[in-house]
Amino acid sequence: MVTAPQSHPSASDAGSTGAPGALPATRRGAAKAARRAELLTAAAKLMAQRGFAAVRLEDIGAVVGISGPAMYRYFDSKSDLLDQLLIDVSERLVAGGEEAIAAGGRGEQVLRRLIDFHIDVIVSKPDLITVQDRELLSLSDDARHWVRSLQRRYVERWVDVLVAHDPQVRSEARVRVHAVFGLLNSSPRLPDYPAQDLRPLLAAMAWVAPQSTSFQRSEAWRLLVEQQQILWSQQWVPYAQISPYLKR
């Protein structure tokens, strides 16, 4: 049985005993957690640009003003840093997906929330998505097993929602969900495109991809398309830009 690798304590864990001096310890813990987050962001950017093998801990530390030896206060090694980086983003995806589902509503509403959440992650953290796609085999064995487990959990929650919304064979739904991820996760490699238009364009394409052909021929689909036209017109998105992805 594979268990989650041990990660460094979070800021909320530091100084929580209530003993004398706990407040300063909490502040120190919060400062360390904030600096760790800075380092992970810097690492994601450098690794997305150069690749994991070409980046040194010293390079990452230099971005945020930390010497090479001081990096070992936060990470045991460069491999440990990568493990934590990809475990963090995988856990974030699972937690965000569960939150989107827990909000409830009709099937299409939940599916839209999942799509919007995933787009939020890839638009705000493109470097993380690039590193996740490219460096999975660079993880330690334990971390890779755990990340794979989290990824499967995230996929299956999408499949649960899709099958409930648009009844289809589960294996087909799983393929469609992976196709949505392939489409969305490739966005960091897309040609330059106005940021304010990218999100709704991705959402329109991602909305169509998981729907079965029979559902796209149904009256329910026609009504959903009409609702989407109204929604995007309210968001000032030119309908001509998204209509090719909504045609039956």
CA distances from 15 to 28, 38, 53, 74 (A): 8, 21, 36, 17
Task: Look over the chain and give the mean of its residue pLDDT values, rounded to a whole number.
Answer: 79
pLDDT, position 212: 66
Q: Which stretch, 45-49, 215-219, 224-228, has highest mean pLDDT?
A: 45-49
pLDDT, position 22: 43
Q: Which pairs count as long-range contacts for 139-146, CB under 8 Å and 24+ apart, including other chains? A: 139/79, 139/82, 139/83, 139/86, 140/5, 140/79, 140/80, 140/83, 142/2, 142/5, 142/83, 143/5, 143/82, 143/83, 143/86, 143/87, 145/2, 146/2, 146/3, 146/4, 146/5, 146/87, 146/90
Report helix, strand or coil for 150. Answer: helix
Q: Which of 39, 46, 221, 194 is nearest to 123 (CA)?
A: 194
Q: How confident is the model at residue 25 (pLDDT cuts 50, 70, 90)?
A: low
Helix intervals (H) in 77-106:
78-102
Would you report the helix, strand and coil content of the chain in percent, each value rounded to 5?
A: 75, 0, 25
Of 207 and 153, the one with more pLDDT: 153
Percent of the chain with pLDDT over 70: 75
Cβ–Cβ under 8 Å, residues 14 and 30: yes
Distance separating alpha carbons of residues 80 and 43, to the nearest angstrom: 12
Task: Name the pTM for this structure.
Answer: 0.74
pLDDT digits (tens, 9 = 90+) for 88-108: 999 999 999 999 999 999 888
Burial of 242 (0-12, 13-18, 19+ CB in 10 A): buried
Cβ–Cβ under 8 Å, residues 96 and 146: no
What single-letter DSSP state applies at residue 2? -
pLDDT, position 123: 87
Distance separating alpha carbons of residues 29 and 37, to the nearest angstrom: 12
Cβ–Cβ under 8 Å, residues 43 and 64: no
Distance separating alpha carbons of residues 211 and 108, to the nearest angstrom: 10
Helix H, strand E, coil C: the string for 99-128 is: HHHHCCCCHHHHHHHHHHHHHHHHHHCHHH
